[in-house]
Structures are given as structure tokens and as C-alpha cells.
Amino acid sequence: MMAENSILPTVAGGKGTFSSDTEKEAEVLSGQTSTLKRKHESESEEYVSPTKKLDTGEGHSQKVATHYNRLQECGLAERSRSRIIHLRNFNNWMKSVLIGEILDKVGRGHRGVAVLDLGCGKGGDLLKWRKARISRLVCADIADVSVEQCRQRYNDMRSRGYPGERIFNAEFITADCARELLSEKLSDPKLRFDVCSCQFVYHYSFESEAQADTMLRNACERLRPGGFFIGTTPDAYELVKRLEASDSNSFGNEVYRVTFQQKGSYPLFGCQYDFSLEGVVNVPEFLVYFPLFEEMAKRYNMRLVYKKTFHEFFEEKIKNEQNKILMQRMQGLEAYPGDDRARLASDSPGEYDHAEKIAENHGVRLPLGTLSKSEWEATSIYLVFVFEKMP
């Protein structure tokens, strides 16, 4: 049940609804009970704290690569202590549901499905591709250390696969996808993709029209007709709305902060802001004005199927029972009230008022599944998009 008049995601649960076993994520994602044993196939990117901004003397692309190369994986124990563990899991659930929906459309398992993971990072989505039973994956990223970690993760996954399992073939490319053409780097120049997935990446390219266009070209030019370009990116409308409501050039809360250089003027390209999560300053990002993005995509014969805010996407997809089960297993929502052993992710006043209000209602099954207010404010900046390649 959704919270009435609330923008905060809250789902009624029931005792025992929430698993405390994070390994179950891997089980659900792979569809194989045996994967419960595979302890370290973590599904989401995790970051430790490079606390300083990077040297601005380097070119922007180099800064992005250096930044992501420096971020390290942290273990499950450290991850589960994170203030934003549920936010990360929630974002991961959003990607899983989106990928599942699109793979259903292209017909998973029937013929060889080829996917391009554009800005693959350390391979946070590898298990999703495995679950989707694709046959070929090309992973590309600007950060060479991340690409190597992604390759390593893939090799580990292959070597630990269950007997007889056919795990997709994969290829790994280090490239600035906003400046270099991937088609020139593919081992099979004739390869056509069914899906290009670009998760939390595209906004880096909106520094200039040429970069945004090259990234788009890489995403779309090798898609087969009927193929999809899917992704997640910050919603410029939401960012500017929050900025305009703030009395400074910055807004945020205890988990995230966005800082613009100025207010009132928003160029179509190169509109830079800094985004930090849990105090970690990220590399500069750029506003993606969606109507322009949609227009630019037409150059590559792409039709917008839909664009939804995270809020809209969540509300729609959580109605599906399978998605709800996946959410519970991935622990994308926090159990409220927490049990004796588990403290809530935040003890700041007001973080769970929305859940408390619902929990007081008679007949509501507890615990609820929710996010703290701050986490929800951070994740609801994003939107989901799906484009389809026209014949």
C-alpha cells in the first residue's frame, strides 16, 4: 500500500517479509538457489571515501576516469553499515526492473541477445545480464581500473557458474565514450546490439554537444531495429526546481548535496553542478535537458518510448508481485519500525514521519518497507528513459 498524499515510497509488509540475508539478492537475480553460496557476487557499485575534489588542471574526461578508478569496492559488511545501503539497493532494484522489462521485450533466451553496457563501471550489472540470459555483452567505460575489475568479476562469475550453465560471452573496452567511437573498437565490427544500457552515466557527456552526440551515437548506431536504449540519469527539471527553491546555489540533506555554480541561467550544454553522496564529492555532472536529448536521439532514428521519474517508475512497478518480492529480497526498502537488533538508518528527527503516520493506522501490516526522507530525496532526483530504434 502506498502512502497517501506522500511522495515517499512506503509499502506495507508483514512480519517476516523482509529478509535479513543480503545474499538472497544474488539468488533472485540469478534465479538459481545455488548462487546463495556465492558470497561475493555483489550487485551494486560501492564506494569508499575519496574526500577531496580532484585536480581541476586535468581535462574533464581524465578527471572522470581518475575519480572512478580511485573508488574501491568495499565488502558486504562495510556496505551493510552504510547510511545509504537502502538507497543503493533501491537504485539497484530500479535498474533490475528496467532491465528485466526490456529483456522481456526483446525476447530473452530465444535467440542470442547482445547488450552494450555503456559506462559499465566495475560491473555492477553483471548479475542482471546473467539472470537475463543474454548471450553477448560488451562492457565499456572510461575508467580502465573499473573495466579491469569488471572483467575480473565476470571471470569469477564464469568460473563459479553452475555445471552446464551458459554464461554470456563478454568483451571489455576502455574508452571515453563521449569522444571515441566504440564501433571502431569492437572485436566484431558487424556486431548489432539488442539493448544498450547506460545507467547513471549519460549526464557526464552533456558537457558539450559534440560529447553528448558521440555518447548517443555509441549508444544507438549499432542497435538493431526494434532494439532499445535504456538508462537512468538525473532529471534536470527536478534539479532546477530544487535549486530555485533554495536560497543559495546549493541544496541537499544529510545524505546528498547538489551545488551549482550559478542560478537562473541554464545553458543547454555544459551546465555544470557538483553532486555529493554521503559527503563524497563526485566529479562534475551536467544537466541533461530531456527535450533536447529526445530531439538529438532522433538523429539516430530513436523514438522515445517513455521517460519516467524514479517516483513514477517505482509506483508503477511495485504493484507487480514479482517486483515486490525482488524489492524485499534486495532490501531496497528499510523495515519500519526496525526490530530490536536493527537500528534505523537515520536517527535524525523527521526522517521516518511518513512511515510512522502510516504505521499508526489500524490494520496496516508491519513492518512497512520505506526509505528515510533524506534517501528518498536523493534518489528521486533521477529518471528512467527508454528509447527504441526505428526500422
In the annotated binding site for mRNA, the residues are 91-92
287 phi/psi in degrees, rounded to 5:
-60, 135
385 belongs to the binding site for ligand SAM (CB under 6 A)? no
Tell me how far apart the alpha carbons of residues 252 and 247 are, in angstroms, rounded to a whole number. Answer: 12
Q: Give yes or no for a contact between 386 and 102, defined as CB atoms under 8 angstroms apart.
A: yes
Among 200, 251, 289, 376, binds ligand SAM (CB under 6 A): 200
**Exposure of 272 in the CB half-sphere (CA atoms within 13 A):** 9
Q: Which residues pair with 174 in a beta bridge?
A: 141
141 belongs to the binding site for ligand SAM (CB under 6 A)? yes
Among 100, 119, 234, 252, binds ligand SAM (CB under 6 A): 119
Interface region with ligand SAM, contact rule CB under 6 A, candidates 129-137, 200-208, 299-307, 355-363? 200-208
Residues of the binding site for S-adenosyl-L-methionine: 95, 119, 141, 176, 199, 204
In the complex with ligand SAM, the residue whose CB is nearer, 210 or 342, is 210
154 belongs to the binding site for ligand SAM (CB under 6 A)? no
Interface region with ligand SAM, contact rule CB under 6 A, candidates 29-37, 197-205, 361-369, 372-380? 197-205
Sheet strands (E) in 121-271: 136-141, 169-174, 193-199, 223-234, 250-252, 256-260
Residue with cell 530465444: 110
Q: Does residue 78 sit in helix, strand or coil?
A: helix
Residues 3-62 that bind ligand SAM (CB under 6 A): 45, 61
CB of 146 vs ligand SAM, minimal distance in Å: 5
Interface region with ligand SAM, contact rule CB under 6 A, candidates 102-110, 164-172, 201-209, 311-319? 201-209
Sheet strands (E) in the chain: 10-12, 114-118, 136-141, 169-174, 193-199, 223-234, 250-252, 256-260, 272-277, 280-281, 285-286, 302-309, 334-336, 368-370, 382-389
177 belongs to the binding site for ligand SAM (CB under 6 A)? yes
CB of 141 vs ligand SAM, minimal distance in Å: 4
DSSP string, 91-113: HHHHHHHHHHHHHHHHTTTTS--
Give residues in contact with ligand SAM (CB under 6 A). Answer: 45, 61, 64, 68, 119-121, 124, 141-143, 146, 176-178, 199-201, 204-205
